[in-house]
Structure 1
Amino acid sequence: MQRKKFIQVSAMGLVGLSSVSFVNFQPQITKDDLMGKGNPTLVGEGYKLRKKANQAFLKMKSAAFKQGIKLKVVSSYRDYAHQNRIWERKYERYTANGLSPTKAIHKIIEYSTIPGTSRHHWGTDLDIVDGSVKQPKDVLLEKHFYNGGAFSRFKTWMDHNANDFGFYLVYTNKKGRKGFKYEPWHYSYAPTSIAMLKEFKKLDIKSELQKAVLMGSSNFTSEFIQQYMDQNILDINPKLL
């Protein structure tokens, strides 16, 4: 084979190999990953995040620590079974207190997601507080983050710095926002979670929820599911869409 021809063939081979390798080694986001039924590679000490999200979190944690704030993770990755335990515990409590199944479901989704639809399934989201102060009895209450509450200084620091590390509040206090109530503790790593949400929106969630065996799921009407998607899943911080 002539040298010039050999170089041309070799170059074509390298291009072909490069293209195939690129396709084969791109991380795939599966339905199971999106719904908390997969087995994603997660890292972290005392919490679980995807690798890039954890790298960014550690940088943010280090920066906060220099200002006397110790970022403490209250909740991170949750699989489907974990989210279902939260769902069942609340459903049983609310119905035992006299709420109808429909009212119990609407009460639950003020703060908690239906199993299979939680952002905590993705390994990108965290509930965070300040571990350097005396911990209130129930840490995830809005009052602790304002007006001299235990986490007021934490909230101020996060407001000014979290975005620099790629983390954004999910459920903001923007006037008129619907869906889940304001959560000043829930942050999402945007560089990864935006892609996860994009893929999640492609799923037939109506079908998935209507076939799910969950407490109260017989009350998941088409209208309810559509409203849940529009308000609870998609009415979030625009920076995360």
Structure 2
Amino acid sequence: MKRDQFIKSFLFAGTALCILPQLSFGYSEENYSRDILIGKGTPNLLGDSFKMQQESYENFLLMKAAAAKENINIEVVSAYRSFRRQKEIYEGKYRRFTAQGMNPMAAIEKIIEYSTIPGTSRHHWGTDIDIIDANAPRPQSVLQPEHFHGKGPFCKLKDWLDQNAESFGFFEVYTDNAHRKGFKYEPWHFSYAPVSKPMLEEYKKLDLKKILLEEKILGAQHFSEEFISTYKSENILDINSKLLS
């Protein structure tokens, strides 16, 4: 069901919220402080098992309800993630890979195939989600590209998202594009564009190297100017063009 049709029926039932993308209940650009942008602030988040900014969250609920009509139960595996949590993930991998004999830069390059350096994750913004279909058989490791294609359990979800997600403001971030660099293809990762686009514009103004050194991230002493420049252009900015201003 397309978004316009869904909203009309929702309003007719008298239960819809006024949460169209053009109406913003999130932060204005003035509120996108350094700490908010790197996951160390205290954003106004909604949700129980997962957290999102209000506008992102409420439009996600509309999308989830529309998908449910097609017997698709969108489950959020990950949404808002704090700097502290991302640091735990990143440094856990860094310690494991270096203990296995990798040199620091090889470990970092391995980590950033899928995981972000803390302070640089889109999940810090409360706009991005990793999703699966809870009605499908659950594989042991759910976030694998093959599960969303061919005969994978989440093919029905992927097909539905391809047709409908953008009408709710959600866009796939790391697309299956042979010319795209940075993070590998993630068919499960979607971003709520009306909020994440202005947040990215504010994020681009930050001094990334200064932040990474100030926050004492494990291995940060190996982040050269060249590495930071490449990471910013490939991992942060080489994304779905519809999420760029």
Identify unmatched segments of 5+ residues in structure 1.
Answer: 1-24
**Conserved in 2, the CA contact under 8 Å of 1:53 and 1:189?**
yes
Match of 2:139 in 1: 136
User: 1 or 2, which has the higher helix percentage?
Assistant: 1
Q: Once the 2 structures are TM-superposed, how far is the Cα of residue 67 of structure 1 from its aligned partner? A: 0.2
- Could you tell me the percent identity over the aligned residues? 52
**Partners in 2 of 1:95 and 1:184 — Cα distance?**
29
**Partners in 2 of 1:104 and 1:71 — Cα distance?**
33
Match of 1:105 in 2: 108
SS in 1 for 2:190: strand
* TM-score of the pair, normalised by structure 2: 0.87
Match of 1:66 in 2: 69
**Partners in 2 of 1:221 and 1:93 — Cα distance?**
22
Match of 1:183 in 2: 186
Q: Once the 2 structures are TM-superposed, how far is the Cα of residue 94 of structure 1 from its aligned partner? A: 1.1
Match of 2:7 in 1: none
Q: Once the 2 structures are TM-superposed, how far is the Cα of residue 93 of structure 1 from its aligned partner? A: 1.5
**Partners in 1 of 2:51 and 2:205 — Cα distance?**
25
**Partners in 2 of 1:207 and 1:84 — Cα distance?**
16
CA-based RMSD: 1.1
**Conserved in 2, the CA contact under 8 Å of 1:91 and 1:105?**
yes
SS in 2 for 1:74: strand
Aligned with residue 233 of structure 2, among 221, 225, 230: 230
Whichever residue aligns with residue 129 of structure 2, its letter is L
Identify unmatched segments of 5+ residues in structure 2.
Answer: 1-26
Q: Once the 2 structures are TM-superposed, how far is the Cα of residue 174 of structure 1 from its aligned partner? A: 1.2
Whichever residue aligns with residue 185 of structure 1, its letter is W
Q: Once the 2 structures are TM-superposed, how far is the Cα of residue 76 of structure 1 from its aligned partner? A: 0.4
**Partners in 2 of 1:103 and 1:125 — Cα distance?**
28
Aligned with residue 209 of structure 1, among 212, 216, 226: 212
Match of 2:14 in 1: none
Q: Once the 2 structures are TM-superposed, how far is the Cα of residue 45 of structure 1 from its aligned partner? A: 2.7
1:194 aligns with 2:201: no
- What number of residue pairs does the alignment pair up? 217
**Partners in 1 of 2:232 and 2:50 — Cα distance?**
27
1:42 aligns with 2:45: yes
**Partners in 2 of 1:158 and 1:42 — Cα distance?**
24
Whichever residue aligns with residue 182 of structure 2, its letter is G
